[in-house]
Amino acid sequence: EAQVTQNPRYLITVTGKKLTVTCSQNMNHEYMSWYRQDPGLGLRQIYYSMNVEVTDKGDVPEGYKVSRKEKRNFPLILESPSPNQTSLYFCASSSQNYGYTFGSGTRLTVV
Amino acid sequence: GENVEQHPSTLSVQEGDSAVIKCTYSDSASNYFPWYKQELGKRPQLIIDIRSNVGEKKDQRIAVTLNKTAKHFSLHITETQPEDSAVYFCAAGNTGKLIFGQGTTLQVKP
């Protein structure tokens, strides 16, 4: 089944403790992206990648890192999480001519 | 920076009526305009999209129009049904960089 898989689904962590949210797609898509969703703010793009080793900042990249070492994987790294990064995170992928397919989401709480 | 404005933020219609959601965008380089539907607790799902070389596209009860000169595009849902109730997002950009509007909560009353 074609899908975008992100893990974990739920995560509670403490301020400053490094964490990684994994994302994998099995559709051979060139493009991958991370969004965060907050009430009233819609979906805001954190980072996106157009292919292996090619990444670029979205609208809200501060406090986040990404890497694209393989085509199928695009992990999101929070080196020192803070409470304002508490949010619902979505990974997404697409081929060049189609819109993003989203993963199921990761609900992150930073206390 | 670039942004996408979406209106209205909430919309309530009677079953069978039409619903229209409008978006404006600021980046004139945008050439791809998808619409997503997000049901409560679920992921956003692509329902229709349009590219800048097309003015209108229709898929059954859903249609999207694009006015590139004015930098606005709209989603039209006809003969609304209760299962159309959800949050709808417009987006504008290129296939990699995609900026979303703030969302419209559509309620269809039976």
Chain A residues with beta carbon closer than 8 angstroms to that of B36: 99
Q: Which two tokens stand for residue A109?
A: 């709480």
Residue B53's pLDDT is what?
80
SS3 content of chain A, % helix, strand, coil (to 5): 5, 50, 45
- Sort A67 into a burial class: Cβ within 10 Å, 0-12 / 13-18 / 19+: middle
Residue A96's pLDDT is what?
79
Tally Cβ neighbours within 10 Å of residue A111.
Answer: 9
* Average pLDDT estimate for B38-59: 93
Residue A97: pLDDT above 80?
Answer: no
CB A47 within 8 A of CB A58: yes
Q: Does B54 touch chain A (CB under 8 A)?
A: no
CB A68 within 8 A of CB A74: yes
Chain A residues with beta carbon closer than 8 angstroms to that of B101: 42
Q: Does A98 touch chain B (CB under 8 A)?
A: yes
B40: pLDDT confidence band, cut at 50, 70 and 90? very high
Question: Is the bond preceding A83 in cis, omega lying within 30 degrees of 0?
Answer: no
Residue B96's pLDDT is what?
87
Residue B1: pLDDT above 80?
Answer: no
Residue B39: pLDDT above 70?
Answer: yes
Give the C-alpha separation, B29 to A90, whole Å: 25
Candidate from A24-33, A93-102, B76-85 with smallest mean pLDDT: A93-102
Residue A83's pLDDT is what?
97
Residue whose token pair is 């001519």: A97
Strands A106-110 and A10-13: parallel
Residue A12: pLDDT above 80?
Answer: yes
Mean per-residue pLDDT over chain B, rounded: 95
Give the C-alpha separation, A46 to A56, whole Å: 9
